[in-house]
Structure formats: structure tokens, C-alpha cells
Amino acid sequence: MTLYNGAEACITCEEPGRTVTQGRGHSRCYPYRPSVSRFPIRSSANILQLMNAATDRNRQKGFKGVSGLAHLSKFNLVYGTVPDYMHCVLLGIVKTLMCRWFSPKESGKDYFVGKDLKQISDRFLKIKPPYFIERLPRDLEKHYMHFKATELQAFLLFYSVPCLHGYLAERFLQHFALLSEAIHILLGENITRDCLERSEFLLERFYSQFSVLYGEGSCGLNVHNACLHMPMYVRKLGPLWAWSCFSFEDANAMILQSVHGTGDVVKQALRKQEIAMYIRSSDEIRKASRSKLKVTYKAQNCDVLGALHRIERNLPACIRESLGAENAENLKKIQRVIVNGEKFYSAEYSRMKRRNCHAVLYSGDKFGLIQYFVLVQPSNKVYAVLKKIDSNVDSWLCTYEAAKHLNPVVLTNSFNVVGVESLNTTLLIIDLENGQEAVVAKMPNRHGHAVMK
């Protein structure tokens, strides 16, 4: 098929694109078109006809010959050949825009913020992600050109809007927020019809404004695929994490680590996989390595990790009343628990120095910071002592059309005490520079390495 920079290179539709001036040369752009003037979606049968009629010198709507995939029984050439989210959105659109914003080559453009990159990087490095985002923020000045796909994903979904606010012009930041929220929706676990329609609306807006803000030559096949076709593939195949290249790239890394020389690499890789399978089949080893976390105490409503500590006698009266315990001897302080298979950490867990794992969603729709856990021994139940976090209705973020997955909040000094069974999930929290305001966000799903490693 024609490459991404040629005419009719889209596998999903018959959009031909057009050649436009870009810098000192020319490039193929795929401009935004209103729905009434868009080119038709391809079908598997039509593609097969075009392939059979095409030659390398006489291409038929982008095809120049018959693909081996055409001979696979019941294989759909459209829905079986998806634009990959990892390469299209993250390593494509997000990385391109970061280079536009930060590269000295773009100085003089309205979107250039390279002169403020040190300040943006300082703000970025202060972020303490929770444990399920494995990669910590790196210095943008030194590393933004070399970010991994997972780093670009975290930047797109969570870090970009708070870090760039006040530096990147509002029309560019609000435009990027459209993509941020849309992708957060498409990475979800339970995507409703309303959510999908919301993502389509946001991506339509992002696509329509892209050429205006960054020039026609920048609006290539990645923007076309992400904005026009990705929601359709989510509707057909499920959320982005279910069919992105992340898991395949993981497997590639495992294979590479299996090879330690240049001779007979296939045999080396297969031998290591054989050893791994043998180890996994051993009952004794499996039981020994089932969990790195040791449960030290089983309470009625959770499992306790780590030691039980004596609690201070000067416990605030409001907290003691909420716990229903007059005698401090009946109380034990805890730093970590497991509730319904999910780990929760308190602010007093000192080993989390570069991470903030104590911001949580609880009781369905409330935000809080877990200060510590308390075991009430007569009832054998564990409670979480939280500092309340209130919604910030006066935040600049409330004026944005998009980025609704980022919740502006205000930190308070008032406490709340709830049973740990009321804890829903750990949140990502980004403190803003004034020390009182912050932004909290939920992960789009809980599928670990496939999404957020």
C-alpha cells in the first residue's frame, strides 16, 4: 500500500489528502472535512477488488498489489488493520506537538514555549505519581525528545494541562485538552454510548482546529486516523488498551532480554522461555513468589500490611469520637492495607518519597488524603483517617471546554473518618504552585502494564 505520506494512504477510508507547502518543501496533508464532504469508508471486499486490479505502476486508490493478509480466511482487511494508538497518538501526535512547543527551531511561533522550558520542567519534576505509573517524571529540558510511549501517555492524560498552564497560549492548551480528555475516555473500562459520543465530539473539534493552529502541513495521517477513525475502532473492537501495541512491545522486550549473544538467537530465546515455563509450573516456587507483600494481620474489612503501631494519646477528639473508642489502648495505627485486592497507602508510609499514593476516591464521589489507618481492636475493623479535599469551582480549569477528567480541588485541614471498605481507588494528585490548590484524576482503567507502566 502507499506509505503514510502518499495519496490515499488511509486504510480505513478513501481520503486522498492533498499536497501543501511545508517549510522549504512539500508534504501530504489530510485536511479536516465536514461530515457531508468526507470520502467513503472502505470495505474488505472493495479493498480486495482494488488489490487484484492494482500494480506497482498503476495503483488503485492507494493499493499497489495483493497483500498476503487477503488470503486469510474471514480476515477483515479494514477492521483487522487498525491504526495503532501507541504509535499514532503518543509517538505521533503528542511527540510532534511537544517538539513544536519546545524546539528552538520553532521560536517565533505563537505556540513556542522553549524559552520557558526550565520553569515548565521544574513544575513537571515536582509531580509525584502513584505507584501504578511506573516511570517517574524526567527533566523535560534533557529528555523530552526521548520520552517513551508510556511517558508520553502520562503527559497527555495528566501532566500536560497543569504543567503548561500559564506558559502555552490558552488557545493551544485548550486545543490539546480536547485530545487529552478524548483519549482518557477511549482508554476506559466501561465506555458508554454517551462517553463515546463525547470523545467523537472532542476529537472532531481537535481535528477541525489543528490546521488553523499548526498549519496545514502538520495535519498528517496520524491526526486523520486518531480523530476520524479511532472512535469507530473502539466501537467495533473495544477500548484502546485492548488492542494497542503496548503488550506486543512488552513481549518484544522480553524476547530481547532472552538473547545474550549473536549465535542462534532463536534457540536462546526459546530456551529461556522453556525455563520460565518450567519455573511457573513448580507449585512450591509459585506459592513462595505469589505475593511480595506480607499480610501481617487480617481485620474484618481488610488485610493489614506491615506493623501495628501504638497510637498517640493526644488523638484529636473529633477523630476519637468518629472511631467510637474512648480508650487509646484499643487503637492501633497502620500505614498500609489491602482492600478488595487493591493496595492503599497512608501519608505516614515514609518509603514513598518520590510518589504520592495516599490521594483516594472514597464513598463514590469524595476526594481525600489518607493520613493513617486505625485498627479498632474490639470490633476488629480498620478505619481511614482522611484530610478532606473539596472541589474548586473557581479554578481556571473550570473554564475549559475539555479536560473534564482533571478535577480541580482545594486541600483542607478538616478530617473525615471512614471504614476502609468505603475506599474506591487511588488517585493521581498534582499540587499546584500555591500549595492549596491541586488537580486530581482517576486512571482510565486498571490494566496495569498494558496502559500505565
Output the DSSP codes for 150-214. Answer: HHHHHIIIIIHHHHHTTTS-HHHHHHHHHHHHHHHHHT-SS--HHHHHHHHHHHHHHHHHHHHHH
- CA angle 153/12/14 to nearest 5° reads 130
Domain ranges of the chain: 18-42+78-247, 258-288, 295-452
Query: What is the model's pLDDT at position 449?
Result: 45
- Judge residue 48's burial from the number of C-beta atoms within 10 Å of its C-beta, 0-12 exposed, 13-18 middle, 19 or more buried: middle
Spell out the alpha helix ranges (H) of 393-442.
Answer: none
State residue 316 phi and psi, 5-degree precision. Answer: -50, 140
| Cα–Cα nearest to 370, from 354, 357, 352, 355 | 357
pTM score, whole prediction:
0.90
Query: What is the model's pLDDT at position 450?
Result: 43
- Judge residue 215's burial from the number of C-beta atoms within 10 Å of its C-beta, 0-12 exposed, 13-18 middle, 19 or more buried: middle
CA distance 423 to 421: 6
CA distance 315 to 115: 50
CA distance 184 to 405: 7
- Judge residue 337's burial from the number of C-beta atoms within 10 Å of its C-beta, 0-12 exposed, 13-18 middle, 19 or more buried: buried
Interacting residues of 19 by C-beta distance below 8 A, sequence separation 6+: 26, 27, 28, 29
CATH number among 3.30.930.10, 2.60.40.1080, 3.40.50.970, 2.30.30.490, domain 295-452: 2.30.30.490
Query: What is the model's pLDDT at position 442?
Result: 94
* Helix, strand or coil, per DSSP, at residue 408: strand
Separation in Å, CA 386 to CA 81, 148, 303, 366: 48, 35, 19, 11
Query: What is the model's pLDDT at position 261?
Result: 83
Separation in Å, CA 27 to CA 18, 132, 218, 256: 8, 40, 8, 36
Interacting residues of 375 by C-beta distance below 8 A, sequence separation 6+: 297, 299, 304, 308, 331, 332, 333, 334, 381, 382
Interacting residues of 425 by C-beta distance below 8 A, sequence separation 6+: 342, 360, 361, 442, 443, 446
CA distance 365 to 386: 14
- CA angle 155/248/89 to nearest 5° reads 35
Please state at what angle helix 193-214 crosses helix 230-237, rounded to 10 degrees: 160
Bridge partner residues of 431 (DSSP):
438
CA distance 44 to 46: 6
Is residue 387 within 8 Å of residue 369, measured between CB atoms?
yes
Residue stretches of the chain with pLDDT short of 50: 288-290, 449-451
